[in-house]
Amino acid sequence: MPRLVVISNRVAVPTGDGSSRAGGLEVAVRATLKRHSGVWFGWSGKVAANRKATTQTIEHENHSYVVTDLTEEDYQEYYNGFANRVLWPILHYRLDLAEFSRRDLSGYLRVNEHFAAELHRILKPDDLVWVHDYHLIPLAKALRERGHANRIGFFLHIPLPPPDILTALPNHERLIPALCHYDLVGLQTDNDAANLGRYLTGECRLSSRDQRTFNAADRVVRIDTFPVGIEAAEFGRLARRAVRSPFVQEVRESLAGRAMIIGVDRLDYSKGIALRMDAFERFLAAYPDWHGRVTYLQITPKSRSEIQEYGEMEQEISATAGRINGSYGEASWTPIRYVNKAHSRTALAGLYRSSRAALVTPLRDGMNLVAKEYVAAQDPSDPGVLVLSRFAGAAVELAAAVLVNPYDSEAVAAAIARALSMPLDERRARHETLSRALAANDIKLWADKFLDALVRPRSAPNWLRPVSSLAIS
Ligand code: F6P
C-alpha cells in the first residue's frame, strides 16, 4: 500500500490529554489512520495574527500531522464565508440561508491554492491522496495544475442535493465540475451519488451508461457510495466500561429513577434542535402521564459562533428550552437539561447506554454518527430506542429505528411516546437488526472499500465516449 496522504480542513492533532475534538470526519479519519501510516494535512485551527501563516509538522506514532495556519482574511472568507455561509447551507438544502459574495469565493479558492502549494512540497509521486469534505472541492485541480498525477480521491461527508438546488449556487459551473479532477468521488448515500450523477450528465454533459463512471476530458472519474461507519465493537466496549465511571454514575443518580432521553448534536441549524424541542413539548402536552417520569438531556456544543445564523439559533434554542421548563417543570423536576459543554467520547458512550431513547432528528444530514454510536452503546438485553430522522444518511442502513419526519412535530411527539413504552421484545428485535447493519459496515470496511476503489486500474470502459463540448474548469 503506498503512503496515504489525508487532507481535510480540520486535523485532529493528538493533544496527549485525549481532548482532541471528535466530529464525524475526525472520528472516521482517525480510525483510518490507525491502520494506514501516513500524513494528515490541513488547517492548524489557528488564525495567524500578522498575515504570516506558518506550516508545522508534528510526528506522532508513525504519522505526520502537517498543519498550516490561516490568516484572518482566509478564516473569514474561506471558512466562515464560502465554506460555511454558502456551501454548508446549500448542500444541506437551505438556499434561504446562503449568503454569497465573490470575495468569499476568491478567499476559498485562495486557501485551496495555499493548501496545494504546501502539499506540493511534501507529495511523492506514488502517494495515495484522499481529500475530505466541502472545504476542499477544488484541491485536486490545484494539485493537477502543479503536475501531480497521483491517484486522488474525494469524500463528501455531507449531503449532495439535486441539480435544481446545486445550480442555485452562484458560480457552480466553476466549482462543481472541478470534482472531475479527482479519480474517485465518494458520497454517503445512493441518493447523493445519483444527484451528482445527474449534475454531471445534465450540466456538464459528461457521458455515462451507469451514472457512476464518467469520461471527463483527460480522465475517467468514478462516483460511488461509501456510507461512513463507526468502530462499532470498540464503541460498545467503551460504553460498557463508561457506565461505571463516576461521571455517568452521578448523572444516573441525579435522574432519581426517571427515564432519560438523549440528544447530542453540534449547535447547527441542520440538526433540527429547536423543532425537536417543540416535539418534546407536544409530547409533554399530549402524554401527561410522563410528567415527572422522563428527563430529556440535550448536549449541544457551540459551533461556528461567529456566523450570525448560529448566534441567533443559540438564543432561540436556549429560549425554547427555558420556556418548556418554565411551563412544565416542577421544583423537583426539570424536563429538559440543555448543556452546551462538549463531552468526551467516553462520557457520551456511558450516557447513550444509560438512555431509554435517543432523538436524532436532523433536517438533513450526510450520515450522522451519533445515531450509529447510540446503537453500538446499547445493552443488547435491554436496549434503548433510536428515533431517527428519515433525512439523515444513517436512515438508509438503520431503517429498523423508529423513523420520523423531523418537520412533523406531532409525529415526533408520538414517536417519543412509542419509544418510551416500547415492549422489550420489540426493542431487542429492532436492536439486533440495527447491530447487524453496524457490523456489516464497520469503519474499517469504509476506508478499505474507498481505498481499494481508488487504487483500482483507471482505464475507461469502452462504451465511454470522449467529451467534446465541455472543458472541465
Ligand atoms: O462533517 C462535516 C463537518 O463540517 C466536518 O468537515 C467538520 O470537521 C465538522 O463538520 C465540524 O465542523 P467545523 O470544523 O466547522 O467545526
- The DSSP code for 4 is E
268 Cβ below 6 A of ligand 1: no
Task: Provide the residue type at 380 as one letter.
Answer: P
Query: Residue 185's CB: how many other CB atoms inside 10 A?
Result: 24
Please tell me the distance between residue 421's alpha carbon and the centre of ligand 1 in angstroms: 35
pLDDT at 30: 87
Name the residue with higher pLDDT: 33 or 324: 324
- pLDDT confidence tier of residue 75, bands split at 50, 70 and 90: very high
25 Cβ below 6 A of ligand 1: yes
Integer CA distances (angstroms), 185 to 143, 167, 455, in order: 16, 19, 13
Query: 3-state DSSP helix/strand/coil percent for the chain, to nearest 5?
Result: 45, 20, 35
What is the mean predicted confidence (pLDDT) over 140-147? 98
* Each residue's pLDDT tens digit, 348-381: 999 999 999 999 999 999 999 999 999 999 999 9
pLDDT at 113: 98
pLDDT at 15 over 80: no
DSSP 419-469: HHT--HHHHHHHHHHHHHHHHHT-HHHHHHHHHHHHHS--PPPTTPPPP-S
DSSP E strand boundaries for 284-426: 294-299, 336-339, 357-360, 385-389, 402-404
DSSP 107-127: HHHHHHHHHHHHHHHH--TT-
Name the residue with higher pLDDT: 440 or 52: 440
* Each residue's pLDDT tens digit, 372-392: 999 999 999 999 999 999 999
Kindly report the average pLDDT of the chain as a whole number: 93
- The DSSP code for 45 is E
**Active centre residues (catalytic):** 157, 365
Question: Where do runs of H (alpha helix) occur along 255-391?
Answer: 273-286, 308-328, 345-353, 369-377
Q: 257's torsion region: left (phi>0), alpha (psi -120 to 50) or beta?
A: left
pLDDT at 434: 98
* Each residue's pLDDT tens digit, 258-285: 999 999 999 999 999 999 999 999 999 9
23 Cβ below 6 A of ligand 1: yes
Residue whose entry in the numeric block shows the C-alpha cell 440495527 = 434
Taking CA 41 as the corner, what is the angle to CA 369 and CA 171, rounded to the nearest 5 degrees? 80
- The residue whose C-alpha atom lies closest to atom 3 belonging to ligand 1 is 25
pLDDT at 80 over 80: yes
* Each residue's pLDDT tens digit, 404-428: 999 999 999 999 999 999 999 999 9
* Each residue's pLDDT tens digit, 156-201: 999 999 999 999 999 999 999 999 999 999 999 999 999 999 999 9
pLDDT at 215 over 70: yes
What is the mean predicted confidence (pLDDT) over 82-94? 98
CB-CB contact of 80 with 107 (8 Å):
no
Mutate to test the pocket of ligand 1, among 133, 156, 188 (most ligand atoms within 8 A of CB): 133
Residue whose entry in the numeric block shows the C-alpha cell 459574495 = 101
Mutate to test the pocket of ligand 1, among 157, 268, 270, 310 (most ligand atoms within 8 A of CB): 157
Strand pairing partners for 185?
A: 154, 223
Please tell me the distance between residue 430's alpha carbon and the centre of ligand 1 in angstroms: 30
pLDDT at 16 over 70: no
157 Cβ below 6 A of ligand 1: yes
- The DSSP code for 20 is -
Euclidean distance between CA atoms 15 and 51, whole angstroms: 26
pLDDT at 145: 97
- The residue whose C-alpha atom lies closest to atom 15 belonging to ligand 1 is 304
- The residue whose C-alpha atom lies closest to atom 16 belonging to ligand 1 is 303
CB-CB contact of 337 with 298 (8 Å):
yes
302 Cβ below 6 A of ligand 1: no
What proportion of the chain, given as a percentage, has pLDDT over 90?
Answer: 85
Mutate to test the pocket of ligand 1, among 6, 9, 80 (most ligand atoms within 8 A of CB): 9
pLDDT at 471: 37
Please tell me the distance between residue 13's alpha carbon and the centre of ligand 1 in angstroms: 15
Strand pairing partners for 63?
A: 38, 60
Euclidean distance between CA atoms 263 and 335, whole angstroms: 13
Please tell me the distance between residue 29's alpha carbon and the centre of ligand 1 in angstroms: 12
Please tell me the distance between residue 420's alpha carbon and the centre of ligand 1 in angstroms: 32
303 Cβ below 6 A of ligand 1: yes
DSSP β-ladder status, 219-225 and 213-216:
antiparallel
